[in-house]
Structure 1
Amino acid sequence: MARRLRSVGLDFVETAPVRLVFTREIKAAPGAVFGALAENVPGWTEWFAAVTLARPFDDGTRREVRLKGGIRFEETVLAAKEAELYAYRVDTTNAPGMRALAEEWRLAPAGTGTRVQWTFAADGTAPFRLVLKAARAGLGRSFRDAMASLDRRLAS
């Protein structure tokens, strides 16, 4: 059953009780990375293995995302700044224990490529926060794999 989460703004990325931050440099240019994140939302299934469905709606201001294991999200885009920033918050989910979630993707030039920083900012029940902190290594691995896959995809 989907539950409505607390509506948070972009500032939540800096103030959330749980903040997991991952960084990776890839060869693709910032504009290409931004395009894959913000403009080709359905393409997420081709480079982020955990994502089984991603589709924009409401003229791209909202998204539906489904993950392996059956977790579902409806999201609102908070920021989309070409080649620099893409961020969204989760409005509803079926994930237990979650109270608020926002994700931010910051892009910066790194030589001829891009430094990608993904911040996963969340609040939830005490058990949820503990599980999320324990899942840090797995989320980091998922991010690294996704960035490698995205880089290969953008190079082809």
Structure 2
Amino acid sequence: MATRWYPIEEADDSLFATAKLYHARTVEVPFSVEETWAALTGDGVSSWTKGMRRLTWTSPRPFGVGTTREIEMDGDFTLRERFFRWEEGTRKTFSATEATRPIFRHLVEDYVVEPTENGARFGWRWAAELNSPWSFLQGPLDRFFFAPTGRSHIDGLPAYMASRHGAAHR
């Protein structure tokens, strides 16, 4: 049986100012900007993000504007994304384009990596608008799924990088 895909209206940065669902988080990472960027553009993201089973880049490297990927989540939910901003080594932003469930009307996610005295700072923003009837469940969905997934994605990065760094030096 073929997978049914539901379109998601592409959005841009303006969604961060208007979306009812919005999260922003920052984490300090004791690794260089280059190492942090490599982790965020690698294949290992699904290993530290709660609920994420697999990330598949569907565009060839080198990545840039127009790059696409698929994110498979628990519960047989897959999201397709297209990057509308790609500033190599420092920033990338995508809009979701379709999903296997008609949950989202719009979804945008932004990643920024900046140097600090002790490594790098990873800033993340996520904004979404839900379709009906999902919009009526916005509070519980955010509390039990969207917010914890976002926290694990951001807060799990330093530990993931430390485990990879330790493995590389053994």
Output the TM-score relative to the length of structure 1: 0.83
C-alpha spacing 1:132/1:116, structure 2 compared with 1 (3 Å): farther
Q: Give 5+ residue unaligned stretches, structure 2.
A: none
Q: Which of 4, 9, 30 pairs up with 1:6?
A: 9
2:104 corresponds in structure 1 to 98
Q: Is the 8 A contact 1:80 1:87 kept in 2?
A: yes
What CA distance in whole angstroms lies between the structure 2 residues aligned with 1:103 and 1:79?
10
Q: State the Cα distance separating 1:93 from its structure 2 match.
A: 0.9
Where in structure 2 are the equivalents of 1:5-154 lying within 5 Å?
Answer: 5-38=8-41, 40=42, 42-59=43-60, 60=63, 61-125=67-131, 126-135=135-144, 137-154=147-164
State the alpha-carbon separation in 2 of the partners of residues 112 and 18 from structure 1: 32
Paired with 1:10 and 1:149, the residues of 2 have a C-alpha distance of 29
Task: Give the C-alpha shift of residue 121 in structure 1.
Answer: 0.7
Identity fraction in percent? 19
CA shift at 1:50, angstroms?
2.8
- Please, which runs of 5 or more residues in structure 1 have no aligned partner? none
- For the Cα contact (< 8 Å) 2:8–2:97, is it kept in 1? yes
Root mean square deviation of aligned Cα: 2.3
C-alpha contact (below 8 Å) 1:26/1:115 kept by paired residues: yes
Aligned counterparts of 2:108 and 2:147: Cα–Cα separation in 1: 19
The answer to whether the Cα contact below 8 Å between 2:19 and 2:128 also exists between their aligned partners in 1 is yes
Contact 1:48 1:149 in 2 (8 A): no
Q: What residue in structure 2 maps to residue 155 of structure 1?
A: 165
TM, length-normalised to structure 2: 0.77
Aligned positions, number: 154
Larger Rg belongs to: 2
Q: 1:18: how far off?
A: 1.7
Report the more deviating stretch, 42-51 or 65-74: 42-51
How far apart in 2 are the matches of 1:33 and 1:122?
25
